[in-house]
């Protein structure tokens, strides 16, 4: 049952081959029996899940069920869930139980989906390896001595290990696409503003975006149908009709123009990863697409620009965690200053503290124009690169990550090397564009991902291209050793 995709589960539920309660019990049992090896789930919501499954079965029997009714999913622990701890992978919020649901969670509830629990993540979504979580690192099911990617590593690892058929995630600089690539699944970051950020704990407000993770593009389309919506509670949410992303998955790719940026195939790219990506591009040519060489000349500036903008916004967003209103509070503070100092020193991990310090420095008097202002100017140049490229092509493709999953501790003492893991993904966040990753090969028995970047609100075209590729390849069907049993 755990090898079924979301599409197959929906079909089985409609035909009453199995019940939602049976599916839910099956996945809950797998999490309890297997997740001690991967550490992908922080909070298991067993009682709530079984109650939701029973309600879903009633709706299915009445014929009044929504598309995802009865389908079990996991949610990244960055989305507020009413009555269920939402920690954001941090000691600071280890005791935080929200009194409301994030809009994304509310959408899933309204669609009858079953919440299995909350997934592990890098603390406050700051990390590329899922090593910064207060609850310990998540292990990659393909190689448990290697990272699953971050910050949505818990969601990605859980899907790869067949602990859930799908999950929610967030992407600030590649946090959906990078773990999707390293864990051999499919993940999509929508256009900025396509999915509501209300109730999603903020890291960098101009970059954060929620999106789906699953094994296939077809499943991601189903999840995005649920997640995407206009929300007047989020001032950055775009008031634009949401299409049915599943409708055009079968469209031909004949005549599709795919841009290949030369900057994505330069020094630093693993040779095996490059070969897998180029083999995938050859498959697209067989499907009728045309490959067009393009240039995104400011790609190299995306990492330094991002690591000024994101920490600056994080320093502002995380200032609310001060021990006064909610979250961790130090014991017996001597005065208000002592409360602030010790609460934040105890509650935040090293990486979060590092980014707060960098961001505060960049925003300080005398340095704002030199750093934050200049980074925003570079951001405009990066956006212009994409605008010019999309005048010539329909989609852009290349590697998601420079190499397959690296071993734990390999880059922990070198923040710059860790930051460069996002070299191919960050620019889409800076530009606000949609991007996705899908499995396209194996290197050293570890998955690698193909990244697809689309123009604004062109998620349907991206999903169509990904789905057509998955119809002629089987990379998305592979599972880590021992997982299928």
Question: Encoding tokens for residue 252?
Answer: 């031909």
Please count the other Cβ atoms lying within 10 Å of the Cβ belonging to residue 409: 12
For the entire predicted model, the pTM comes to 0.96
pLDDT of 381? 98
Residues with catalytic function? 76, 151, 175
pLDDT in the model for residue 484: 67
State residue 463's pLDDT score. 98
* pLDDT value of position 260: 98
Question: Which structural domain range is residue 80 located in?
Answer: 1-485
| CATH at residue 458 | 3.90.1300.10
Query: How much is the pLDDT for 411?
Result: 80
Please state the domain count of the chain. Answer: 1
**Given this model, what pLDDT does residue 485 score?**
58
pLDDT by residue, tens only, the chain of 485 residues: 899 999 999 999 999 999 999 999 999 999 999 999 999 999 999 999 999 999 999 999 999 999 999 999 999 999 999 999 999 999 999 999 999 999 999 999 999 999 999 999 999 999 999 999 999 999 999 999 999 999 999 999 999 999 999 999 999 999 999 999 999 999 999 999 999 999 999 999 999 999 999 999 999 999 999 999 999 999 999 999 999 999 999 999 999 999 999 999 988 899 999 999 999 999 999 999 999 999 999 999 999 999 999 999 999 999 999 999 899 999 999 999 999 999 999 999 999 999 999 999 999 888 888 899 999 999 999 999 999 999 999 999 999 999 999 999 988 777 777 777 889 999 999 999 999 999 999 999 999 999 999 999 999 999 999 999 999 999 999 999 888 65
């Amino acid at each position: 049952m755990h090898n079924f995709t979301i599409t197959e589960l929906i079909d089985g539920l409609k035909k009453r081959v199995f019940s939602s309660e049976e599916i839910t019990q099956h996945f809950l049992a797998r999490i309890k029996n297997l997740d001690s090896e991967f550490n992908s789930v922080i909070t298991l919501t067993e009682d709530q899940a079984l109650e939701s499954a029973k309600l879903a079965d009633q709706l299915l029997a009445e014929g009044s069920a929504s598309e995802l009714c009865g389908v079990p999913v996991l949610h990244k622990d960055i989305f507020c869930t009413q009555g269920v701890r939402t920690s954001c992978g941090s000691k600071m919020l280890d005791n935080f139980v929200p009194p409301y649901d994030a809009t994304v969670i509310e959408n899933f509830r309204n669609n009858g989906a079953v919440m299995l629990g909350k997934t592990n993540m890098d603390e406050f979504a700051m990390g590329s390896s899922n090593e910064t979580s207060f609850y310990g690192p998540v292990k990659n099911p393909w190689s448990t001595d290697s990272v699953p990617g971050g910050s949505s590593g818990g969601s990605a690892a859980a899907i790869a290990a067949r602990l859930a058929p799908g999950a929610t995630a967030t992407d600030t600089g590649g946090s959906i696409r990078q773990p999707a690539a390293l864990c051999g699944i499919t993940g999509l970051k929508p256009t900025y503003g396509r999915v509501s950020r209300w109730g999603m704990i903020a890291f960098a407000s101009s970059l954060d975006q929620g999106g789906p993770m699953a094994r296939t593009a077809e499943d991601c389309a189903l999840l995005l149908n649920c997640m995407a919506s206009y929300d007047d509670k989020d001032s950055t949410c775009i008031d634009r009709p949401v299409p049915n992303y599943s409708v055009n998955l079968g469209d031909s790719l004949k005549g599709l123009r795919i841009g290949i940026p030369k900057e994505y195939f330069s020094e630093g790219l693993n040779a095996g990863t490059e070969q897998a990506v180029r083999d995938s591009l050859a498959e697209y040519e067989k499907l009728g697409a045309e490959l067009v060489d393009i240039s995104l000349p400011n790609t190299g500036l995306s990492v330094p620009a991002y690591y000024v903008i994101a920490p600056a916004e994080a320093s502002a967003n995380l200032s609310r965690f001060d021990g006064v209103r909610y979250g961790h509070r130090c014991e017996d503070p001597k005065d208000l200053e002592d409360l602030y100092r010790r609460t934040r020193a105890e509650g935040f991990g090293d990486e979060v503290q590092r980014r707060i310090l960098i961001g505060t420095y960049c925003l300080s008097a005398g340095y704002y124009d030199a750093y934050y202002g200049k980074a925003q100017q570079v951001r405009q140049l990066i956006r212009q690169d994409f605008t010019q490229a999309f005048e010539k092509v329909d989609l852009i493709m290349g590697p998601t990550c420079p190499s397959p999953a690296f071993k734990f501790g390999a880059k922990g003492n070198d923040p710059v090397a860790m930051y460069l893991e996002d070299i191919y993904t960050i620019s889409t966040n800076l530009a606000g564009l949609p991007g996705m990753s899908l499995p396209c090969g194996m290197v050293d028995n570890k998955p690698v991902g193909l990244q697809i970047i689309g123009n604004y609100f062109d998620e349907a075209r991206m999903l169509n291209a990904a789905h057509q590729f998955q119809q002629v390849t089987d990379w998305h069907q592979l599972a880590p050793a021992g997982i299928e049993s």
